[in-house]
Every structure is written in C-alpha cells, then in structure tokens.
Structure 1
C-alpha cells in the first residue's frame, strides 16, 4: 500500500500481481541419415537426438523396424538407452549392410550386373533404397514413457565396375602370335572402364584363366607366373589350381594372389599389367569344330576380389567389384614350309602358279615369282576367310621360287592362299586338303 502522502488525494493504490509458473521441459527432435556403400561391405547411418530441456534426459532406442530392418543393426547405445545433456546432441549409430544393388554410377548398366560375373558373385538388383525406422521414446521419472518420435534411416547398395583384359597397352591388343614349339608371355591388364579400380583398394585377388589345350598350355607352377615388372611384383602366389582336377591336359586354372607386405600397394589402372602368364604353343587336337580355329586359342580371364581372411570380424571383403572381362587370343603359326629354292633371279614379273598336286594329301609345291626385292608373305586362309597361318614371312630377293609345303597337320577342307610382296597381292589360289 502506498503511503497516504503519495496519493495526492486519489483513491488508494491496489497493486495487481501476475504469477508465472516456469516448468522444466520442452520438445525433442530426431533426425535420421542416409548413406551409400558397396554391396556386402559395411556402411554407417545415424539418428541424432536433441532436446530443448535444461536437464539431462534419457531416451529408449528401439530395434529397426520395417521391410528392410534386417539390413540395419543398432550398435550404439549398446544397452538401448541414450542419455542427452542440455545443449548436446545424442547419436544413435546403426550398421548398414546392403544385400542388393539399388543404385548405379555413371556408365554402369544392368547388362553387366546381370551378366556372368554378376550372377557368379550372387548380385541382385532392386529398385529403391533400403529404409528402416527407429523409435525414440523419452523416459520419464519412474521409468514411465513420455513422447515417442520416429526417425527414418536410408541406405543404397552400390557396386564398383571396372575392366580387365588380355593385352598390354590397351584392350584392342588382344591377339598374340607365336610359332609352334615357342612360348609367349600373355599379360592380364586393368583399365578404368567405367570406374577406376584404385578406389577398391584391392590387395587380394583370384584370377581364373581358360584356354584350348589342343593349341597352347600355360606353365602353371607357382614360380612360373611372371610378376617382375608388373603390378603384382612383391605380391605372393598363395595357390594355383588346375581344372579338371588331375587332368594331364587341364583347360583352366585358378590363381590366388595376395599382397601381404607390411605396407601393401593396391592395384591401379594404367599401362603396367597386373601380371603375365607364360604359354607354350604346339599343335595337337583342337577342341574346336571349326577348322579355321585349329591354330587359335581364346584366353579368357575372370577376376574376383576375395577375402582370404574369412575370420575378419569387420567383414573386410572386396567382392563388391565386378570386372568386365575381355578375352584375348593366342594365334599359333605352323611353319609348314619344308623347303624353298630360288629357281631364277632374272624375273621382273609377279606371278603365281596353281599348287600341284591339288587336291593334296601330304606335300605340294607352290611356284611364284616376285619382281622386286622386298618382304614376302604367303598367307593361308580357310573357307570362311579366316587367316590360318603365314606359310612364308621373310625378306626375299626378286626372282622365281619353288616352295614345298607339308599339309599333314591341316584339317581336311578347302583353303585359299595369296602371295603378298611389296606392291603385289596375288589372286586367291585354291588348295584342297584330303586325308
């Protein structure tokens, strides 16, 4: 009450009081995250929890729910309860393991994913990301439940797609020629197509190689692979298996390689091949039904990233990489020329006479003349127009030649040959082989 002398004759002052109650508490908020990770590898998503209260609050975290719940696992908090201090942010950590491919990078296609390698590694594809929900419930005094809010977590499954091929500098160099009873080094190379293999951090690989045992045979001892000067220099060969098991003429082999140095060096793309295989060339009985393929052996390469330490608790597998595989070919040239003699050096014309005898069962003679010094080739083709071999490939002086050839190693059928020397290419001459 104000003193009387301050009223100035006015009515007595009656104060009015407004009482405001301050209640501790407020709202809380949850936010789920998303991630992209390689199929069969591990990624992490989080749920963030924050509140507006001035005291510590505790929340109960549910197990993931929804159609994709099995792809998510809560790893923190381990006891299912999250404590969040004022002004802080609580983090719920979930492990995400995609079981299918749901998203592709630029340049990737379903064609490759659904191909031989994708199916061999058990890949599958589906439209749409993996999703799950996590309930966050506030725990009140006496363990009573307060408000519950739901967070959504999202994950996409990816795969890395790159290329390996039989070749050295680029995958267009896929045919290698070798003479009978000689050997040739065939490289296995890598190319960033459509993605760089370096991002996969590969230090363990399994490579499967197949060939035609009627034409070539690799040297498949552990010490026979060529690693020096390749990306696998410094790697170790864990094991080499041949198939069919126990066969004296295997048709394929499986090579396990691993970089177990203290500081491994992962594979990269580039001019240096992964490693090389030494093939011996000979002529036997080809499995091919096409006579023109008698002296050609396809070399098929399949590469699979693997995890040799299957007990790794982190699941450090790298089988999220699919390799596009481009096969190569070894062409074996038979030297069927038994003898050649220079008949005359006075000729200035290019001529080719028909082979005699024709048809031929054993040996036959080709007479031809070249008008200028130069490299001379006599090329044999099968009836389909495929090159079978070079009967002659050498520098010759102008003159007339008589060449005796042995056709006993050729399958029966119709062939054609041409003489090519300097500016001259003869018309095709017919050769019929009978047995």
Structure 2
C-alpha cells in the first residue's frame, strides 16, 4: 500500500504494470457485496468482488490486457487477489454465499452442464501441460519437475490422502540449481503469481524461542494476539505453497511443528486453533550432504553432464546419510520424497543464459533500448559464468559484470542513447556493444 484516500487505496498490478484504485469496505459493506454474489462458481464470485472493489474496471480493458499477455495469465484472478489483499473478509474461503431455491435446481440446466464439462476439460489440459511448462522455466531439473508436478496432478484428481498436505518434498542440491526457482514456478503456474508462495527463511528460526514467530507467541507474551506468520498466512489463503528455505538451519522446535503439519495436515497455533495445511504443497530446501557427495568417488562429484541414474542413487545415499544426522527418522519418514537436484551442465547454462538475456531484453525495451545477444556473446557469458558449484547465480553475476554495468556507463557517457538498437557480440574474450543503424536493422537477423 503506497497511498490512502478516504476509502480507496492504490495497489500495483504486476500484469497490467499500473496502480489500481481499490475500495476498502467496512464489515457491513463487505456483507452487502457477498449478498450480491449469487453465482455457482468461483469465477462468478471473483467478478462480483472485482466489480465492487475496482470502480473503473471493465470487460474491454480486461480483454485487451489478456490479448497483450497472450492469455498466459488470468487477469481477473490477479485483480481479485489484490481486492482480497485489501479486503480479507471478501476472500471466497471466508464467506458463505446465500442461494435461492432456483439456484439449487441446476442438474437439468443444459447450459450449466456444458459449462462444467468445458471447465473440466480446460483444467485437465492445464494439468497435462504443467510439467512441460515448468520444465521450460526450471532448466536441467527434469526429474524434480516430474516428481512434484505428478504429486499436484494426483491431488487435483483427488487421488491422495485428504488428511495430509498435497505433497511434502525436500529439495537438496548446490546453490543456484533451481530449488527455490521450482517453488516460484509452481506458484506462478498454479495461482498466477508468487503471492500464494509463503517463504520461510529457516535461518531466522535458529534459536529455541524463534519458532513462536510461525505460530504466534504463547499466552502472556508480547505479540500473542497478533498470530504467527505461517498460521495466519494459511488461514488467509487456504490453497498455497509453503517453502521452508534451508530447513537444516532451523531449531528442532520448528521441526516439531513440521512433524504435526506433515502427519496431520494441520498446525496448532498459539491460541489452540488447528490451522489446515491440507491444500498446501510443502517444499523444503537444503544443502546437507552436497559437499560429501561432491567429494565421493575420488572427487568426481555430481555428475555434471551425464545425469547417470546409478550416480544419482549413489549421491542420494550420501545425502541421506547426512540428513539422518540432522533430522529425526520420523521427520524424514513423513516426507513424500527427497529430491536431489542435478548440478547444471554447460548446455544447461547456455539455456539459462538465453532465458536471462530474454529477460534483460524486455527490461531494455522498457528503458527505450533495443537489445539482442548474438550466439557468440551468449556462449562467452556461459563460459565465464559456468561454475557448477554456484549454479545460475554465477551466470547472473557474469551478465551483470559483462553487460549491465558496461551498458550503464555507455548510457551515462552518451555512447549509447535512448532509441538505439544494440547487438551484443563476442570479441577477444569481451562483450562488444554494436549500435545498429536503422537501415542495417532491417537486414539484421532476429
């Protein structure tokens, strides 16, 4: 929230790249909005909320936005999430929508039956495409993507224990190999944004008393009435992903909370309420055992290119030995799987560079610059930034060093100006910035 004016606030919408005015309702006004929601599905309810909260909302602008984003994002869903962020009492999970007797007789409505069948087919297509879409974003971790997406698919079809979370996985591997990126990608694919990803930095819960920040302070302590970070997020969102980053750094008291979460699908907060995590995907990351696995087999380390199945199982055994030293057996046994992330190969690095450069090109366009990287430039970045033990983070640092910082200096010195088109090429181990004229640009390869 950056500004307030009577009963309006401005919230930034990432997809539309603009600030949206959203009305703040009193409890009585919120109840009136809910009473107007007579639809039989989530989409209808969301539309009522968006129309009530956003005064200048209209279907034409929504359609234009959807065309611009090529239908990859549900714009109305994004607006609804912003509205609920401002007005939590309008969350569909918190309300009871009144129905009339005419609403009940729907089985014989052909139009409704057709709509439900179409929605079911669309959901199935989305499930079928999930693994492919996530693989395109998380490079070099096909095995991890397959396991996690399979769990989500089973849950969506009801083929799981309803008393437990959607899935519980521990990701183990080097830094920068995609452990956190997979969690972010899943949140964006399932919910349209990272707003449904609850990230817990376990290094902040290393002391015995700090676990209380997750579930709330005990009675008599400061902050008891405020609730806990984790439990309050679960109450608000219902369906979400929770990521426990570097789980080994948390105190054992936090591990005890996780035992209840993984076993019963609930967490008891400081007030004694049982908060459900049965619609949550629980992910954890760790670096435990990575160094030992690297040092095994005469220093061969993680299989960088071959991703050999036998080698993978050997690494997993080494990592399991380290996990057993850090966690109690009942904790490990409650996990659906421990997934060892591959060390990135050079080919993986080239793909990641390609992806990062596409992102940088978009940033440059917003600054009024045309930018393209020729294959030789991308290969040079991959060569200088390829450090398996540092993963994609070193590639990001290399792009900053070779491209972003020199480009900044050239803009300041007016060697490059707004409106220019720059081609990046490799020249004697350095990146060369070629300004392409408008005439030459027509013949320039895309």
Task: Choose between structure 1 and 2: higher helix proportion.
Answer: 2
Task: Choose between structure 1 and 2: higher strand proportion.
Answer: 1
TM-score (norm 2): 0.22
TM-score (norm 1): 0.22
Larger radius of gyration: 1
